[in-house]
Structure 1
Amino acid sequence: MRLFSTILLLSAAVTATALAQGVTSPFTVAESGRSYATLGDAIKAIGNGRGTVLVAPGSYAQCAVQQGGDLTIRAQKPGTAILDGVACEQKAALVLRGRSSTVDGLIFQNLRVPDGNGAGIRLESGNLTVSNSLFRNSEEGILTGDAPGNSISIDKSTFRHLGRCDRDLACAHGIYVGRYGSLTVTRSRFDQGDGGHYLKTRTPRVTITDNSFDDSAGRLTNYMIDLSNGASGTISGNEMVQGRDKDNYSAFITVAPEGREQDSTNLSIANNSASFVPGLQRNSSFVANFTGDAVKIGPNRLAGGIKITDRR
């Protein structure tokens, strides 16, 4: 199902530019019916209120900043609206600092900035919900600041050809969530990483379920899931395949490798699968625990050479 969804997104993207020809005001505020030439103008029209911007099919060399309010940005048809290669404030295609933000059905691609953190979305405040979206060929998919009172939810989305660890800069990752209150990632796909971790978070609570982490075509990647400071919650139903070209292949999941800030005794890791690409033989750990917390590791399907856990 995840593969089928990704194919639909990619197929739709191929025709998006052609569909946009002749559309001079492709960004419509649903509540007013008014259309705008730029996404930024449509978002400004909503201001500190609540509203939805509908995006017509097309590839747009645009970016936008949300300064307040409760904003939804939704593709009229999932996978046909592309934000391509332009980063606002040298940060991201979307810089979000409102009360809440919802992104549905968009494609973000080709984002690069001088500090190496060019992202599809830079979240600076408020709650975030992302669904049916594709992040590809950029330095980072989603990057956030700290907002302990807020939450992030990601569903049915793909993160492809993201991350980097070069130019003597701090690494970028597929997703990097700071000290938000909670993170939920479900039914999503991570693949073909270009460095860093696929999913890195400092949130104290996580729900990471029913995702695919396919590192078979990754390059110089690190961990699948990095709980940088520990966390409680659930990691379940995920499929993980480790590739050959790794910067660090010593673990699939890490708990507090950058220092324990959260109690991880209520972290449950069960019913996942972990393996290597065919023909690869090496030793790794499924869970590397950098704390003395007794993480609850239930039954998981692990290939030969992968030990359940180790204390580091």
Structure 2
Amino acid sequence: MTTLTVGVGKQYTTIAAAIAASRDGDVLAVQAGTYTNDFATINTKITIEGVGGMVRLNATQAPPNGKAILTTNTDVTIRDVAFSGAKVADGNGAGIRYQGGNLVVEDCLFENNQNGLLANPSTTGTITIRDSEFAKNGTGDGYTHNLYVGEIAKLSIDNSYFHDAIVGHQIKSRAHETIVTHSRIADGATGTGSYSIDVPNGGKVVIADNVIEQGAKSQNPAIIHFGGEGTAYSGSSISITGNTVVNDLASPSASLLLNATSVQAYVANDSVFGLAANRIAVGPAQVLAITKLAARPVSDLSHPYDGLGMDGVPQPPKSMILPPSLPVPTDLIIRVSEDAWQGDAQFTVAVDGKQIGGIRTAIASHAAGEHNDVVISGLATGQHQVSVTFLNDGWGGSAATDRNLYVDSIAYAGQEKMVAAALLRSGTSTTTVGTNPPAAAHSLTLHLSEDAWQGDAKFNVLVDGKVIGSGTVTASHANGATQDFTFNGLTAVPKTVGVAFLNDGWGGSAATDRNLYVDGITIDGHDLTNDVATILRPETATFNVDPWG
């Protein structure tokens, strides 16, 4: 492996030159900055990564191959690179055109291209996207999208942000397996996107623990579309669990899922705002434990990678981004996987002897290290007996012809137990989780104010290093106002209190600046008036309050 350096005064002044000189296994270390019309086709198995910040590949003319800024034909990993401006005559210009191999995209930004990432069919290929942002891609013709993946083996998306696609879809995937987890997908107030997630050929689909918002100007009333373009792939299935879904489209046809296949979808433990109960799923579906939200959740519009957002404003690091769809500490989270043979493993879940929901289906491969999450909310605090019962064992005489179910872990009240129960025959695995809590007699009050600009200041509060709550400040610091936020039920007197400012904003002057102020702290009636702070950046102010312990 050789490291090739790119940038001013480095081995290569252009990324294209370094790619041309690369061999399998090489790493291209690219100095942060803007590289204009630096186009290349990649035929070597390499890693391209930014050094010292974001590498910005900006196209002001059509790529000479008529495809993309970067075109990949083999195994490539790309980190900390932004792609913008890709336009070609046929309307299918892309930040990246994938043509084969295993592509990994991490901490990247795709904005203002005809397509963000466009993938050709490659039935053995995979695409993995993590910690990345796709914004304002599309030509407005409905055939170009933030992300468009042809028939590949697997598409995996985690902890990423898709928003403001122009008429097209936020995510369109023809992959045989599509997994979207811990991500945010939003049209926003002015966005004109169509489906949030479109999987027109079916396949094995898992959509879990995301925040999904359909905007008021959406081009299609369905949020997720499954099947509908020809016959679905053999073995198709879809699981939609643990998501927070907001519908802002005023249409009686609006729905969370439009299932155009004969496959029964599994929709469970989702929190939904703006949809009637009979519009959760259109088409065959098992719908369980849906929480209807009385108030619209606040949209999180911050950017998921470290660095500058599209507006040039420094953004909070990923560790401070807490999408509201993620399971809260009191949720019970059961992770399962399977060995599939002549069908997927089916199971039920019981808590304290009472079955929760109906028959569930595992589709995550144990051999591949994948898992499905079963999220159960609303349990009373304390100990619980959790039972997982495997229903349909299958055995064809060898390890390759065996259907099994695995309970990989169980988390409750923020504590995860690695269970590692292998159910090789039909039967039940039972685990005890939780403890009887101590008395919760302590309280914490924060006295906060803000400088508001293009929105109010948002924060998390940490006690002894753990997040216990959050809020939005509306009290004006300039007017001398203070707003109290009280957090009850602490099991012990805090030793440290932290206030994490989540959404700093700066427009270039004191009048265009969003700031957060800690004006004091009260613990169990004791006023700590000297514990004050001015937080001007996305960081955490931490106070040592141990003397009150």
Pick the TM interval, shorter chain. Answer: 0.7 to 0.9
1:138 pairs with one of 80, 92, 113: 113
Matched, 1:239 2:211: yes
Counterpart residue number, 1:97: 73
Q: Structure 2: how far apart are the matches of 1:61 and 1:265?
A: 43
Secondary structure of the equivalent of 1:41? helix
Q: Which digits, 9 at most, give the CA deviation of each residue in 1:226-251, with x for residues without a partner?
A: 00100213110111111122222x20
Query: Residue 183 of structure 1 contacts residue 206 of structure 1 at CA under 8 Å; is this kept in 2?
Result: yes
1:274 positional shift: 1.3
Q: Structure 2: how far apart are the matches of 1:173 and 1:242?
A: 16
Counterpart residue number, 1:128: 103
CA separation of 1:88 and 1:54: change in aligned 2, threshold 3 A: farther
Q: Structure 1: how far apart are the matches of 2:134 and 2:25?
A: 28
Query: Residue 232 of structure 2 contacts residue 261 of structure 2 at CA under 8 Å; is this kept in 1?
Result: no
- Show the 5 A alignment for 1:60-99: 60-79=35-54, 81-85=55-59, 86=61, 87-98=63-74
Query: Residue 123 of structure 2 contacts residue 152 of structure 2 at CA under 8 Å; is this kept in 1?
Result: yes
The CA RMSD measured in Å over matched residues stands at 2.1
Q: Which has the larger radius of gyration?
A: 2
1:282 pairs with one of 240, 251, 264: 251
Secondary structure of the equivalent of 1:291? coil
CA separation of 1:153 and 1:117: change in aligned 2, threshold 3 A: same
Query: Residue 190 of structure 1 contacts residue 198 of structure 1 at CA under 8 Å; is this kept in 2?
Result: yes
Secondary structure of the equivalent of 1:172? coil
More helix by share: 1
Matched, 1:267 2:243: no
Matched, 1:308 2:283: no
Q: Structure 1: how far apart are the matches of 2:190 and 2:235?
A: 29
More strand by share: 2
Q: Structure 2: how far apart are the matches of 1:293 and 1:264?
A: 9
CA separation of 1:107 and 1:67: change in aligned 2, threshold 3 A: closer
| Structure 2: runs of 5 or more not aligned | 285-549
Q: Structure 2: how far apart are the matches of 1:63 and 1:91?
A: 13
Q: Structure 2: how far apart are the matches of 1:203 and 1:262?
A: 10
Higher relative contact order (CA 8 A, sep 6+): 1
Q: Which digits, 9 at most, give the CA deviation of each residue in 1:34-58, with x for residues without a partner?
A: 71122111011114x2211111121
Secondary structure of the equivalent of 2:18? helix
Q: Structure 2: how far apart are the matches of 1:62 and 1:282?
A: 43
Secondary structure of the equivalent of 1:222? coil
Q: Structure 2: how far apart are the matches of 1:220 and 1:126?
A: 32
TM-score by length of 2: 0.48
Q: Which digits, 9 at most, give the CA deviation of each residue in 1:69-100, with x for residues without a partner?
A: 21111000342x100015241211101112x0
Q: Which digits, 9 at most, give the CA deviation of each residue in 1:81-131, with x for residues without a partner?
A: 100015241211101112x01110011111111111111100111110000
1:184 positional shift: 0.2
2:14 pairs with one of 29, 38, 42: 38
Identity %: 29
| Number of residue pairs matched by the alignment | 275
Secondary structure of the equivalent of 1:162? coil
